[in-house]
Structure 1
Amino acid sequence: MTDAQVSEKPATSTLASAPVALVSGASSGIGFQVAKQLSEKGFIVYGAARHFAELSEDSATTVGKGGFHEVHLDVTDEDECKKVVDYIVEHTGRIDVLVNNAGFAVFGAIETVSSKEAKRQFDTNVFGLANMTRTVLPHMRENRHGHIVMISSVAGRLPGYFGGWYHASKWAVEALSATLRSEVKPYGIAVTVVEPGAVATPWASIATDSLMEVSKGTAYEQTARRVAATMLDFYENAPISTPEQVGGRIVSMMTRKNPPRRFVVARGARMMLAAHALLPAAAFEAIERMNLTRREG
């Protein structure tokens, strides 16, 4: 890892006392807010992402200043993950917190999403997360201290109409996290799964673009148009949580003495999970289909 790939080198005088956090997917949305707000609480933060060119003006003034350092990283590249982690440990002596936030959504019927796209989904959402975790763990074990935060989704506990591959990737995150928690607890390492509901980010537009692209000319195209229209309308008009609000709640959770195993966040998330738990599966699926296809595409 070269100095040119990190925005600035932290001052040596602060290394001994300040906790160190590595946050993936930190160029925007929840990841950026978690990184920003951790740095405001005195953490030395390395915010990692593949691209920082699309930073907002507010984000651009934060990255590289104070305790927030920009790191260019593709989590699907295991060698690159190791170089970044080695660089951070070399310059700070440790990594106290890893926030696995990098991820995206491929939407479309199971039948219409290609194996290539499904693999790309898992490469980032699951194997990228595993690359980061696998690389950081030896340093946390050596220090017998650490907190790994997995940004999953309520999608990790719910079925997803036309979102099967995305939901499957988040179910995998849930299973990996539960197993990892048991494996690393003897070394003083905590694992928390964060399950956001709907958040005001570009997620919906990316997901619906994917949905429409893979549905063209298929038996699902008409229904896909209605689902896309409903999703976009909801994200544009419903009173959903902002990344700043969700990031703030996640940071507050992370700074507790005993962080929870699971943390549900964002408006409506608990209600969705409760409905899924209480309703018969057929009823929940019927309501989901009805809600997602109520608008004309």
Structure 2
Amino acid sequence: MSGKDRIEIFPSRMAQTIMKARLKGAQTGRNLLKKKSDALTLRFRQILKKIIETKMLMGEVMREAAFSLAEAKFTAGDFSTTVIQNVNKAQVKIRAKKDNVAGVTLPIFEHYHEGTDSYELTGLARGGEQLAKLKRNYAKAVELLVELASLQTSFVTLDEAIKITNRRVNAIEHVIIPRIERTLAYIIAELDEREREEFYRLKKIQEKKKILKEKTERELEKRKVAGEVTEPANLLAEEKSCRDIILVQCVGLVRVVIFWSNFTGCKTSLDVHLWVTCAES
């Protein structure tokens, strides 16, 4: 496994715990982003359906408004000059609100009327009914245009948000999570290898201790046969006179074993046997 396929980290129990927590966090984040993407997609489809319906209705309304304008001009004559002269400020205005969908802010436009109707008396002489119909049709057209602008703006915003969310989901699912899993597998493999090495090391130490014990017993038997060592008076004396083997582990691969025997009746007061063993780890 190359270093590019996993996170560079020293294998340890703490690193294993950290990687498990990161893996759980990545999986939770992926699930949350998937739910967010599903919610955005659902709203996206609803808005798309409304856009199609509004555009179809918009065609009919604009066609009706165009016919109304032709009828008004035919009945009341050219009233464009009167309209231009009476304009001082807009009567139909737009205000924007915000809607939150799964953390994505969508703009919503609403139209409202401000002030009085400046063209209320227009068409009193003739064509008043056609002018009133014309105003109603174009007011409805303006309302649909504002609604369509709001829907299309939300459509574009949601489309971009869905793309970003899906990219994040794919990155977490196909890059981040596999990388963490490979790192976790590497840490577990290294820790298992260390445990096997430690078990082998302890096993070799036990074997060395067993060999030293057997060798010491053989030498003790030889000395007893030669008459250099007398039997102890009781087991307690034997236990006090013969001490255990002391195993000292030094730095590196060298182990020093010291056997200390001081038996009653020995010709020398202290016999020290020193063995130096090299154990491969």
**TM superposition score normalised by structure 1:** 0.19
Which of the pair has the greater relative contact order for Cα pairs under 8 Å at 6+ separation? 2
